[in-house]
């Protein structure tokens, strides 16, 4: 999709310099850019890459000397990484789908389909389901009975939305997303060894075989506006009340949100994170990859947890965490430094023991 340097700058609320009528077709890294590409160069330490490519125009950092870089035109944004959001949206050809319903799609007669919707091949929309205006349902999507998808949403292929799920506007789901799977709620006729071990912190009592019986999921899932969910992520139904995800939350691939979990607004969860049942996550919480949160606990607003952190107890608002079990990040770093020093310390202790033994034998 071709754009002039001037039109891109206007869309990004940025400044344009030089030959602003120059037309560019794509965005590319500096070293790979051709004469019709816009080089993405928001960090000066990568400026050497321009000489390896053929770019005539680039998106640059504030204060960059575009003439000295040998460019014919430049766009300068105050915050380059933020400008990438608008720039990539302009250049993303994959976001444009024609209005209409594929002949192989199965739409229940009682479903409500909004205006300007695209429904792809072999998609299924169940009884009484509602699909908002301007929404895209990719191939093989399934929208369950009595579910609601808001306007201007974008569901890639093989997305499954279970029955009774409510999703707000501008929802985005990557391939394989599963919203509305049954929660892992099982119980034994008598108190289980797991329950005893939890109460005693280790003793499961008399060890014996037990059979598990399902607790059915009567709740649903409610998701707010502007939520994005990555590939093969799963969100479970609530047991009685709904599992909830707040407005603006972004979730990466292979994340699990268990039954009854409440996630606040504008959270960010990286890949392979997992939140166990009946846990509440506050607003603006950020989890690195493989963060785990135990069940029946609370994580306060504005908490940041580094990769592979395991949260086993309540976390106050504003904490920055790392480690297993989670502690404040600076504390974890000091603990790790101390752990690395242990071999040297043990060697020193052994030498001291030898010295003391010699003194004792000489006495």
Between CA 163 and CA 179 the distance in angstroms is 9
**Separation in Å, CA 136 to CA 27, 151, 156:** 25, 9, 8
Structure tokens at 176: 């394989």
Pairing of strands 320-322, 327-328: antiparallel
Pairing of strands 178-181, 221-223: unpaired
Q: Looking up tokens 């506007």, which residue turns up? A: 169
Q: Which residues contact 246 (CB under 8 A, 6 or more apart)?
A: 224, 227, 263, 264, 265, 266, 267, 283
DSSP, residue by residue, 164-215:
T-EE-TT-EE-TT-EEEEPP--EE-SS--HHHHHHHHTS---S------EEP
Would you call the peptide bond into 325 cis, given omega within 30 degrees of 0 as the criterion? yes
- Whether 259 sits among the annotated catalytic residues: the reply is yes
CB 25 within 8 A of CB 36: yes
Dig out the tokens for 304 from the structure: 């940041």
Q: In terms of residues, how long is the chain? A: 363
Q: Could you tell me if 259 and 241 are in contact, meaning their C-beta atoms sit under 8 angstroms apart?
A: no
Measured CA to CA, the distance from residue 333 to residue 339 in angstroms comes to 10
Catalytic residue among 118, 142, 158, 259: 259
For residue 323, give every residue at least 6 positions away whose Cβ sits within 8 Å of its Cβ, in sequence order, or none.
309, 310, 332, 335, 336
Active-site amino acid positions: 259
């Amino acid at each position: 999709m071709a754009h002039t340097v001037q039109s891109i700058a206007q869309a990004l609320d940025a400044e344009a310099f030089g030959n602003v009528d120059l037309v560019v077709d794509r965005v590319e890294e500096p070293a790979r850019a051709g004469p019709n590409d816009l080089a993405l160069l928001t960090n000066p330490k990568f400026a050497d890459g321009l000489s390896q490519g053929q770019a005539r125009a680039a998106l640059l950092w504030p204060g960059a000397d575009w003439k000295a870089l040998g460019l014919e035109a430049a766009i300068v944004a105050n915050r380059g990484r933020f400008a990438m959001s608008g720039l990539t949206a302009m250049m993303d050809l994959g976001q444009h789908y024609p209005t209409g319903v594929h002949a192989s799609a199965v739409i229940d007669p009682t479903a409500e389909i909004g205006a300007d919707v695209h429904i792809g091949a072999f998609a299924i929309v169940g009884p009484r389901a509602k699909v908002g205006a301007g929404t895209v349902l990719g191939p093989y999507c399934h929208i369950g009975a009595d579910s609601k998808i808001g306007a201007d949403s974008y569901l890639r292929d093989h997305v499954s939305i279970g029955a009774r799920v409510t999703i707000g506007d501008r929802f985005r789901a990557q391939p394989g997303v599963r919203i509305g799977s049954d929660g892992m709620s099982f119980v034994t006729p008598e108190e289980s060894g797991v329950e005893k071990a939890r109460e005693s912190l280790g003793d499961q009592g008399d060890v014996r075989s037990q059979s598990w019986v399902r607790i059915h999921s009567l709740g649903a899932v409610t998701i707010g506006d502007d939520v994005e969910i990555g590939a093969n992520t799963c969100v479970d139904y609530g047991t009685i009340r709904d599992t909830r995800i707040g407005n603006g939350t972004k979730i990466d691939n292979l994340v699990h949100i268990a039954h009854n979990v409440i996630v606040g607004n504008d959270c960010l969860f990286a890949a392979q994170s997992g939140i166990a049942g009946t846990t509440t996550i506050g607003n603006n919480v950020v989890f690195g990859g493989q963060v785990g949160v135990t069940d029946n606990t609370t994580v306060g607003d504005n908490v940041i947890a580094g990769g592979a952190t395991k949260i086993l107890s309540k976390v106050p608002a504003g904490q920055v965490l790392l480690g297993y079990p989670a502690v404040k990040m600076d504390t974890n770093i000091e603990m790790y430094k101390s752990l690395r020093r242990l071999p040297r310390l043990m060697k020193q202790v052994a030498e001291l023991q030898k010295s003391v033994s010699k003194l004792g034998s000489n006495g």
